[in-house]
């Protein structure tokens, strides 16, 4: 099983899946899933001539489950260890949802020496938490409620969460297989990691990180996202990253990597080749 050993005060093993050859594209999954959420993108990108590397965040999928280190400084250090140990250069970093935070913090802390382009897909930056200097954010009570619900009954919370993740509340929507697959991925995660990541993505300020972006950046977001609304995230990130490109997926929910896979694949390939 391909893994790397991370460094730092809370070391662990990170599992990664690799497919294809060519320019490396690193895919960073969202909460509370694993690298398997990228199934369609891995196939499309590798068939198009790219070396696709999708890894599991600490506490998720097949990676280690330490009792600490669920913060973005550590997540970015883990990504840096992956980049250096695999000696990835001219790489494209693509982060979905909370994975976009890894991309932002990695560039903010480690620069772009190894990075050619970045993709922030339905991503949480620039700053989700509502504060005096971030009045457009989300009330802390929302994240506290998520944390408490996961702590009290994680499986029940996840059962409800994915309906909004994919916008499957509307009558006539058929997504039972997608729901089952997503819950299977989320059930496998560490309960501690599932809780602590809510604190991480709900309270981390990425504005200073985004100011350091100096590579071509794609910001893609669904305009029907109920989990990370585009007004709070994608539109503001586009305004903060100089020269970034904003693509709005009409009618797409948060989980558009699955529901709008062909549209996203085409968009990613076009951006990679541009």
Is residue 97 part of the annotated active site? The answer reads yes
pLDDT surpassing 80 at residue 50: yes
User: Can you give the pTM of this predicted structure?
Assistant: 0.97
Q: Which of 80, 221, 254, 260 is catalytic?
A: 254
For tokens 């977001």, name the residue: 221
Using DSSP's 3-state secondary structure scheme, residue 26 falls into strand
Question: What domains, with CATH codes, occur in the chain?
Answer: 3-273 (3.40.50.1820)
- Which residue in 225, 233, 238, 260 is the catalytic one? 225
pLDDT value at residue 168: 87
Q: 198-239, pLDDT tens digit by residue?
A: 999 999 999 999 999 999 999 999 999 999 999 999 999 999
**Candidates 34, 63, 97, 244; catalytic one:** 97
Per the annotation, the verdict on 244 as an active-site residue is: no
Nearest of 126, 148, 146 to residue 137 by alpha carbon: 126
Q: CA nearest 71: which of 196, 257, 235, 210?
A: 196
Is 90 tagged catalytic? Answer: no
Q: Which of 50, 54, 4, 55 is nearest to 24 (CA)?
A: 50
Q: Please, what is the average pLDDT of the chain?
A: 96
User: Residue 20 pLDDT more than 50?
Assistant: yes
Distance, in Å, from the CA atom of 41 to the CA atom of 265, rounded to the nearest integer, reads: 6
pLDDT in tens, 101-156: 999 999 999 999 999 999 999 999 999 999 999 999 999 999 999 999 999 999 99
């Amino acid at each position: 099983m391909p893994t790397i050993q991370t460094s730092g005060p809370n070391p662990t093993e990170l599992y990664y899946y690799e497919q294809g050859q060519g320019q490396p594209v690193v895919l960073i999954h969202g909460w509370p899933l694993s690298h398997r959420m990228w199934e369609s993108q891995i196939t499309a990108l590798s068939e198009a001539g790219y070396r696709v590397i999708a890894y599991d965040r600490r506490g998720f999928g097949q990676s280690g489950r330490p009792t600490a280190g669920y913060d973005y400084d550590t997540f970015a250090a883990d990504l840096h260890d992956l980049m250096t140990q695999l000696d990835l250069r001219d790489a494209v970093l693509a982060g979905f949802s909370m994975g976009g935070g890894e991309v932002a913090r990695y560039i903010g802390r480690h620069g772009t020496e190894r990075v050619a382009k970045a993709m922030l897909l339905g991503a949480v930056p620039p700053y989700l938490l509502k504060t005096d200097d971030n009045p457009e954010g989300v009330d802390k009570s929302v994240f506290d409620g998520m944390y408490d619900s996961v702590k009290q009954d994680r499986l029940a919370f996840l059962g409800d969460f994915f309906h909004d993740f994919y916008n499957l509340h509307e009558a006539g929507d058929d997504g039972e297989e997608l729901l089952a697959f997503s819950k299977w991925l989320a059930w496998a995660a560490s309960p501690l990691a599932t809780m602590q990541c809510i604190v991480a993505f709900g309270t981390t300020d990425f504005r200073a990180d985004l100011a350091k972006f100096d590579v071509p950046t794609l910001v893609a977001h669904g305009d029907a996202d109920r989990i990370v609304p585009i007004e709070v995230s994608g539109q503001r990130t586009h305004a903060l990253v100089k020269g970034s490109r904003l693509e709005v997926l009409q009618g797409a929910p948060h989980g558009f990597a699955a529901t709008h896979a062909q549209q996203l694949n085409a968009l990613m390939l076009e951006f990679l080749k541009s």
